[in-house]
Amino acid sequence: MSDAEVGVDEALSALLGKDSKRSRDEPLIAANIGVQLAHMELSSWPIAIRRRVRDVVGRLQPKRICEVGAGIGHLSAWLLDMWEDSPAPENYQMVEGGGKFGIILLRLLRRYDAGEWASVKVGRFEQLVAEQKAWSAANPLVTLSTGPAHGVAASDGGAGMAGEGDEPILASPFDCIIIDVEISSLADCLDSALASLAKGGMILVVEPEVPTGDVAADDVVGQSQVAGFQKWMDFIHRVTVECDVAFQPLYGGTLVAIHSK
């Protein structure tokens, strides 16, 4: 291993470490969202991972950040709480597939008075990235404005397709993309994230659990999880050629950082 590679590994290790200067307590709004998640029988990343993602983003200070699979804002509240006491990004986009959740996320942004620089996009991230690519091709001379469009923007796969509006679909390229989606779509989502990542940018994701036990041939869910994990392994093997990849074991999972060279 070269000195340069050792230097990159050390830098990533330091970046993924705990920030002892920040509070370890969960922000009040995030804690309330956790209670709401329990009532809705939904889950999110363990607190150790959410806290560490907050620490990493705080160190990175990305100008443009995208959170894919924002749910009802459990992790988002950690980030928004941090930005109340430190410089906020120029643009923060929360992508969520469910329209109902999109409304909840919009209320969260209003609660933090973040509407000038944050927005919600409803739809599959892969489709939004494809539409953004088409929009950019149709509007090559348009420069992305710093502030996002207000409200919840939805991708409908038909009316309002990319290239028809005055505003871009996504504020890409992003300096940081956080991904929390089902294992069945994780690898495809990561490929789209790489296409939307700025040079020197970083993707943060949690390593999926290894499927265990025998899966019946007619078990659609089980088979999709097995296939999704294999695609994840293929992605990691492929991405290490073009990116720096670091793994940080934490209580409840392993945080993975993918750094674009």
> Element (H or E) spanning 189, and its range?
helix 183-195
pLDDT in tens, 130-140: 999 999 888 88
Residue 137 in tokens:
């091709």
% of the chain surpassing 70 pLDDT: 88
pLDDT in tens, 234-249: 999 999 999 999 999 9
Q: Where are the domains of the chain?
A: 27-180
What is the per-residue DSSP string for 132-180? HHHHHHH-TTPPPPSSPPSSEEE--SBTB-TTSSSS-SS-PSEEEEEE-
The model's confidence at residue 165, banded by pLDDT at 50, 70 and 90, is low
> Element (H or E) spanning 109, and its range?
helix 99-111
**pTM of the full predicted structure?**
0.90
pLDDT in tens, 214-225: 777 777 788 888
What pLDDT was estimated at residue 212? 79
Q: How many CB atoms lie within 10 A of CB 258?
A: 25
What pLDDT was estimated at residue 157? 38
- CATH number corresponding to 27-180: 3.40.50.150
Residue 166 pLDDT exceeds 80: no
